[in-house]
Amino acid sequence: MKSRQQQFEQASELLKAFTAKNIPLAHWYFFSTLFILWSSLFLSHYFFHHFSWGLVLSVPLCTLFMCRSYVIEHDCGHGSFYRSENANSIAGNFMGFGILIPYSLWKYIHHSHHLNVGNLDKRAFNPEIWTMTVDEYQQSSIFKKLGYRFMRSKFTRFTITPTINLGLMFRFVHPRFNWKANVSVIVHDILYIVILWKVHQFMSWKELLVIFYIPLVIFYFVASYTFYAQHQFEDTYWEKDEDWSYQEASFYGSTFIAAPKWYCWLTGNVVFHNIHHLMSGIPFYRLDEAQKAFGQTLPYRLIPLGEVWQMLSLKVWDEEQKKLVPIPKSNH
C-alpha cells in the first residue's frame, strides 16, 4: 500500500502534464475578454442615454466579463496563462485594471494564501476569511465575539464583505505587502482618481453607478461566494505549524464543487479547487480536463454548489473534532 507522500507524488506527476499552455487559446481569451468587457461598458453608456432597456443586456454582460477578467488575472499571477513573467504581468495588469484589483498586489497576497493555507499559526499571512478556533472564540471578549459573528454572518458575507475585501482592501498600502504590491496600489489609485475626475466631467454619478458600479458589485458578490466555497467546509484542513503539511492543506483543505457548466465557465473552473491548489500551474481552461484524468487518485468528497449556503453556518474550527462547526450554542 502506498504511503500518503507517494500518493501525492503520483498525483503531482499526473497533473504536471496539464500545465502545458495553449498560447493561441490564451491570446483568444485575453483579447476577447478585454474587448467584450470594455464594449459592454460603452454599450451601457449608450443605452443609458438612448435606450434604457438595453441596460438589461449590457450590465449583465459587463458582469460576466468582469468575472472572466479576474479568471485571467488569477492565472497570470500563477504564471499559468502565458509562458513568460513579462507577458503574464502585462496581461494581468490589463485584466485587473478594469475590476479595480491591482495585479502586483493580487499576485502577492494570493501567493501568500497558497503558501500558508490551512496553517493555524500563519493565519496572519493568509488572506483567508477570518477563522477562529472554538477555544479562541470562547476566550474572546464580548466585543470580539460580536465582531466575529457579524463578519461571519450570511448578511455580511453577501453585502458588506465583498466590497470591503475586493473593493476597499485593494485601495490601501500595507507594511506587510512587498514594494511591488504597494507601488501597484499607489499607481492604480492615482490613475483611478484621474480617470474618475475626467469621466465625471461628462458622466453623472448616477450613470457611473448604473453602468460600472452595479456590475462591479455583482462581480464582487460572485467572487465572495466562490471564495467562501473554496476552503470553508466542514472537513476542511487546519493544523498548527508543527503538524502542517503543504500538500495535505492544498488538497484536503480545498473543495471540489459540483457546479453547472455555466458556473464553471464563469469562474474559470475554479470549482476544481483541490486540483488547482495541488498544481497551480494548470491553466484554467485545462482544469476540467485535469480533474477528469485525476479521478480518485486521491480520495475527496464532491460538494454540490447549493451546499455552499449551508456551509455559511460553519464559523469556528474545532481542533478536537478536526471540523469547521457552528458557534457552540452555550456561547450565544
Q: Identify whether the C-beta of residue 238 lies closer than 8 Å to the C-beta of residue 253.
A: yes
C-alpha cell at 137: 472564540
What pLDDT does residue 124 have? 87
Please give the Cα distance from 69 to 9 (Å, whole number): 33
What pLDDT does residue 257 have? 94
Partners of residue 302 on adjacent β-strands: 256
Q: Which residues have C-beta within 8 Å of that of residue 203, sequence separation ≥ 6? A: 45
What pLDDT does residue 235 have? 95
Widest CA span of the chain, in angstroms?
70
What pLDDT does residue 2 have? 65
* Residue appearing with cell numbers 491570446: 27
What pLDDT does residue 193 have? 96
Partners of residue 256 on adjacent β-strands: 272, 302
Please give the Cα distance from 162 to 129 (Å, whole number): 11
CB-count burial class (<10 Å; 0-12, 13-18, 19+) for 20? exposed
Rounded to two decimals, what is the model's pTM?
0.93
What pLDDT does residue 332 have? 44
Along the 332 residues of the chain, how does pLDDT read in single tens digits? Answer: 467 788 898 999 999 999 999 999 999 999 999 999 999 999 999 999 999 999 999 999 999 999 999 999 999 999 999 999 999 999 999 999 999 999 999 999 999 999 999 999 999 888 778 899 999 999 999 999 999 999 899 888 878 888 877 788 899 999 989 999 999 999 999 999 999 999 989 899 999 999 999 999 999 999 988 998 899 999 999 999 999 999 999 999 999 999 999 999 999 999 999 999 999 999 999 999 999 999 888 988 899 988 988 899 999 999 999 999 999 876 44
Which DSSP state fits 212?
I
* Residue appearing with cell numbers 484554467: 284
* 262-299 burial code (b ≥16 CB/10 A, e <16): ebbbbbbbbbbbbbbbbbbbbbbbbbbebbeebeebbe
